[in-house]
Every structure is written in structure tokens, then in C-alpha cells.
Amino acid sequence: MTTVADQAYDRLKQIQQFEDSKLGVKGLVDSGITYIPRFFIHPPETLSDLKPTTPLQPTTITIPTIDISDQRSKVVELVALACREFGFFQVVNHGIPQEVLGRIIRAVKGFHEQPATEKARWYCRELGSGVSFSSNYDLFHSKAACWIDSLLIRTGPTLPELEKIPDICIKEVIEWDQKIKSVGMLLMEMLCEGLGLEAKKLEKMTCLEGRAVAGHYYPSCPQPNLTFGSECHTDPSVLTMLLQDHVGGLQVKCGNDRQWVDVQPLPGALVVNIGDILQMMSNGEYRSVEHRVLANSSQEPRISVAVFFNPSDMIRLCGPFAELISPETPQLYKQFTLADFMQRFLSKEVDGKYMTNYYKY
């Protein structure tokens, strides 16, 4: 039954007004709202599993934590096992100093907490300049928006012109990109070795070169039981590396019963997860796993910095590695170009395992 209120609600108009304001979710919070706009409210079926784990029903699953400074062969084995079973793991003793981790978190926080008029200079949905600030990349495609603002900076294969990167975070972003690239190189070698491939195979395919840094800001949400910080999705990447602050909220779908498991923040740790592209390149050996971020119920904002690694060659054909195909292990996925993959990803809403399902034979 359609009510008068339903008839009066123009969702597209409300979304367009939000977009035109260039304020982001942080701007809504700063305005003093005590409820979230209707287009942020998710349908009951997606909110039904938000019940937290209780002491009487604890989860028995934890995401692996791996010391990557340990003996190489041991680390390769642990990384490969984590990628096959979980698709997610945390790494410690990765060589990036604690002060560098702190600087990039503070820089991202500083950008998002600037006056709205300053941030509005960077607000856009196109990455033509290599830099964009927006709220919800799929705002106009999704069934419901999420409680998140993001600054996205393409850092590889070449940086944008320096004057196009916000002054408040330029030094920290460049420093972070250099440090995280070194860790990414090491992990890609181990991922290849875990598949029985040449260590430099992913690097030779330019998978280390196409990098983008996403600085996410999750403000305190007045109605966290009605929305998400980020909806259930998998990453459109070869590999994603994430630095999260102490607030928490990241969850991964794990286990035979597909339960949501918290990725607990560990001081100094980096969260690593397999993206859709590597799942397909590995012919399903490594898993790109659904994950989400709960709406922030804390009084302080949640900050995270994700780095997405992808091939820089947009027209090269990607697909399962030939070395992994045999009569016993037939090819599971079609070949594709990164250009086609990203165009398809950006033209739709965040939606679980859509991409790997689309390219599956």
C-alpha cells in the first residue's frame, strides 16, 4: 500500500540535492542531524544480520595474523593457506614504521575534517585528474547509500600533477604510496610462490603499477542500525591492502555457514585481501571474499586507508594463469581486459560477488 509520504518522496531528487551540496556525509553530521536521510536506509533483508555476536554465541573464527618477517618458506605457506581459506589476513612486522602509519591516518582525517568549502574543490565522480572526493561511488546506482566519504588518489603508474593533490595530505600520500608498494611487491611474490608460479609473475604483468589510494572517513552515525559504512562487496582489484584505525567495524563473511566475522584492529597491522581479478587469475585457488563495514556507532570517526593494486595495462587480456589449467583443473573464468572489467564494475551498484560470477564459465 502506497502512503501519502511515499508519494511525496522523490528519491532521485534527494540524492541529487545531496550530491549538489558537495558536503558528503560529514557535512550532514556537522549540520546536527539526529536521523539519517531516507536514501541511506537499507532494506530490512540486508539489515537482518546486523545482530552483534553475544557472549553466549561467540564466533569461533578469526582472521589469520601473519608475521611476514619470519622465514620465507613458512610465510609463503601461511599466506597461501589464508588466501585459499579466508581471502583475508593481517600482516605484522611489515617494515613500515609506526610513525608513517600514524601520519597517513592523520592526513586522511585532516582532509575530511577541513571546512566544507575547501573539500568541495575536490568533489567529483570522475578520476580524469587522478584525484576525487565524493560520498558513495555508486550513489546513483545503489538501492541505498552508505555512511562514508572517500578521497581517491591514483598513485600509479604515475602520480597526478602535484597541484591537483590536496596540500593537507600530499606529502603523506606520496610517502605512503612508496612504502606500501614495497610491501605489495613482497606479498605479490609470495602469492605467486604459493601458487607454484614464478615469484615475479604478477609484477611482470604490471599488477604492482596500477595503484589507487582511498582515504575513507566514516563519521559517527545517529542511526547505525539502519545503514552501513560500506555494503557487502568484493574488491575490483588484484590485491587490496588496508590500514584501519582503532575504531573497528570491518567484517568478513567466513566459514561454512557464511557468518560475519570482525577484523579486529591490531596496532601496526595491515589488512590484506584478495581481489576479484586475482581470484580469476588463480582460477579460483585464491578467494575474493565478501566484506562490509558497519555504520559507525562510536562518537569518534573511523578512518581507513585502502590501496588497490591492479595492472596498469588496461587492454592486456587477463584470465586464469595457463600453468594452473589442466584436465583435472579446467579453466573456470573467461579472459577479460581491465578496461572492460572496470567499466562494468563502475556502471552498477556494489553487489557481492557479481564480477567473478559474470566472468565465470
Tell me the pLDDT tens digit for each residue of 334-356: 999 999 998 888 777 666 678 89
- Tell me, what's the pLDDT at 302? 98
Instruction: Say if residue 27's pLDDT is above 90.
Output: yes
Burial of 352 (0-12, 13-18, 19+ CB in 10 A): middle
Work out the percent of the chain whose per-residue pLDDT is above 70. Answer: 94
Instruction: Say if residue 55's pLDDT is above 90.
Output: no
* 3-state class percentages of the chain: helix first, strand second, coil last, to nearest 5: 35, 20, 45
| Set of cell numbers at residue 193 | 610462490
pTM: 0.93
Q: Which class is 13-47+62-359 in CATH?
A: mainly beta
- Tell me, what's the pLDDT at 331? 97
What mean pLDDT value characterizes the chain? 93
- Tell me, what's the pLDDT at 5? 52
CA 237 to chain centre: 9
- Tell me, what's the pLDDT at 1? 47
Q: How confident is the model at residue 256 (pLDDT cuts 50, 70, 90)?
A: confident
- Tell me, what's the pLDDT at 350? 62
Element containing residue 132 per DSSP (H, E): strand 131-134
Q: How far apart are CA 88 and CA 289, in angstroms?
A: 8
Dihedrals φ, ψ of 166, to 5°? -55, 130
* Residue among 249, 217, 231, 168 nearest 29 (CA): 217
- Tell me, what's the pLDDT at 53? 44
Instruction: Say if residue 324's pLDDT is above 60.
Output: yes
Q: How far apart are CA 358 and CA 345, in angstroms?
A: 11
Mean pLDDT over residues 268-285, rounded? 98
- Tell me, what's the pLDDT at 191? 98
- Tell me, what's the pLDDT at 354? 83
Mean pLDDT over residues 122-145, rounded? 91
Cβ atoms within 10 A of the Cβ of 160, count?
A: 15
Going from N- to C-terminal start, the domains of the chain cover: 13-47+62-359
Mean pLDDT over residues 257-272, rounded? 94
Mean pLDDT over residues 93-110, rounded? 98
Mean pLDDT over residues 207-232, rounded? 97
Q: How far apart are CA 81 and CA 220, in angstroms?
A: 36
Mean pLDDT over residues 209-228, rounded? 98
- Tell me, what's the pLDDT at 52? 52
- Tell me, what's the pLDDT at 188? 98
Instruction: Say if residue 76's pLDDT is above 70.
Output: yes
